[in-house]
Amino acid sequence: MFDFFTSKNKKLVNKWHDEHSEIVDLAHKVMAEYSKNNQEGAKKYLKQLNDLTVDHVMNEDIELFKLVHDDKNMDFETERMVKDFVQSFKKTKLGLMEFLSHYSKPEVPLDDAFFKQFTEIVDAVGDRIQFEEKNVYSKLKEK
């Protein structure tokens, strides 16, 4: 109801936070289904995770780019933090999207190599999400 009065940045941060929660939930569902040896269920959640992650990352990149270039009132520290965040996550983000895209294909089996790499990625992404929400999002909510 009061969302009408919320700043654009706060709305974005709230949306991205909700998506982070959904990403984490889907990752856990993939792991649970894989652990039960349910390839079909794991693939279903992996596909949903891939779709959500691509949409989230693309939207976040676009909005952060616009924010840095359009917000004339942004302080130097916040601008630097956002730029550093975007730059430092670029390689990881591309690797994540390639991994999810590859294993989301119906013909690609989910084997032990997949699961080992997936759990490593989930740990890294979880750390990244915590950093992002604690540092970048908290600064953006102030605006």
- The domain limits of the chain are 7-141
With 0-12 / 13-18 / 19 or more C-beta atoms within 10 angstroms meaning exposed / middle / buried, residue 48 is middle
Q: Which residues of 15-34 are buried (b: 16+ CB within 10 A; e: fewer)?
A: ebeebbeebeebbebbbebb
CA nearest neighbour of 45 among 60, 59, 32: 32
Fold of the domain spanning 7-141? Four Helix Bundle (Hemerythrin (Met), subunit A) (1.20.120)
- pLDDT tens-digit readout, 125-138: 888 888 888 888 78
Q: pLDDT value at position 1?
A: 45
pTM of the model: 0.84
CA nearest neighbour of 42 among 109, 123, 99: 109
CA nearest neighbour of 103 among 35, 32, 27, 36: 27
Task: Identify the band that residue 55 occupies on the pLDDT scale cut at 50, 70 and 90.
Answer: very high
pLDDT at 18 over 90: yes
Structure tokens at 54: 């691509």
Residues contacting residue 14 through CB under 8 Å, at least 6 positions apart: 6
